[in-house]
Structure 1
Amino acid sequence: MALSLPVAAAQGDGAKGPVTNLPLPRYVSLKTSEGNVRRGPSLSHRIDWVFTHRSMPLRITAEFGHWRRVEDNEGQGGWIHYSLLSGVRTVLVEANMASLHTRPDAGAPVVAKAQAGVIARLHTCETDWCEISADGGDGWVPKSALWGVDPDELRD
């Protein structure tokens, strides 16, 4: 006999979480420096994965009670308790030595470079560019160099 959990999985635009009524999928970040990721939405489920980077961006794909099904940029994940998550938006720099510009323009002066794997705070996003900050540096990066923001997402 199979057990079916009443979760809402992301199935196209307009999907909403049954618990929060927030969009699915959506991005959040890890609030703590360590977060156990379980096979199912309860403490009785086995820990399959441990996320170990505070502020790491994660994508929520489903909800069940106080649990959220999340995945990282590699698609790894499972169920994590909502108390370990934050609504603060962060991104992962995926392009190696991504240039941070003074404005959203490839011709604008470069103020810093970010190595692949850097976790940065997400600020404003336009059609093709996002403003990020990390380690005291702030600048505009092509959206395509980041994980943790949707290609069509706009942020003020």
Structure 2
Amino acid sequence: MRRPLRLLGVLAAGLLVLLQGLAGPGTALAQNTARGPSGFPVPRFVSLKSERVNVRVGPTLEHRIGWTYVRAGLPVEIVQEFENWRRIRDWQGEEGWVFHSLLSGRRTALVTPWEQSGTTPLRAEPRSDARLAAELGPNVLVNVGSCRQGWCRVSGDRFSGWIDQTRLFGVYPDETIE
């Protein structure tokens, strides 16, 4: 009786992976509805733990390295889990596999990485009419402290304040972080 139940679990997991694949790289299924083998929600945002992180084309050391990230703290989205491997997606939509120990639960974000120029206001309070604390350019890496009601409390070298949540890659729209 155990074998058919285990087979059912494997089939269900396979169906979820298939559905995630059909959703495409730019979409996430309903936020935090599924749990991976780690017990954590999939999809979810994490950050790179070290300065050099190899991204592989498959979930084993035998798979070739597709590219290497060279900046610790970059936010990535875990979109799939397989044993101790995590399939991640970056802000450009590129996906690949990383060993779980190279990732951190620390929440970070990139300010408007999709823009080439311009600035994003960092406010002293979570309101669009609050005093301007700084202006941040594209690709500034920030630590995310909390998010609520469309605003995130962020900090970095020599700045801290509130930023419009839609200006960040590394948090979901309307996500609450305590």
TM over 0.5: yes
| Residue 70 of structure 2 is aligned to residue 48 of structure 1 | no
Counterpart AA for 1:105: R
Does the CA contact (< 8 Å) of 1:39 and 1:48 recur in 2? yes
**Aligned residue for 1:108?**
130
**In the alignment, is the contact (CA less than 8 A) between 2:165 and 2:174 conserved in 1?**
no
Amino acid at match of 1:75: G
Task: Select the structure with the greater relative contact order (CA < 8 A; seq sep ≥ 6).
Answer: 1
Q: Which residue of 1 aligns with 2:85?
A: 67
Structure 1 residue 33 and structure 2 residue 51: aligned?
yes
Q: Which has the higher helix share?
A: 2
Cα deviation for residue 11 of structure 1 reads 3.6
Q: Distance in 1 between matches of 2:131 and 2:81?
A: 43
Q: In the alignment, which residue of structure 2 is the partner of 1:133?
A: 155
Structure 2 Cα separation of the partners of residues 12 and 140 of structure 1: 27
Runs of 4+ in 1 over 2 A off after TM superposition: 4-13
Larger Rg: 2
* CA shift in 2, pair 1:29/1:125, >3 Å: same
Which residue number corresponds to residue 16 of structure 1? 35
Give the CA deviation at 1:77.
2.5
The offset of 1:87, in angstroms, is: 0.5
Count of residues in correspondence between the two structures? 152
1:142 aligns with 2:169: no
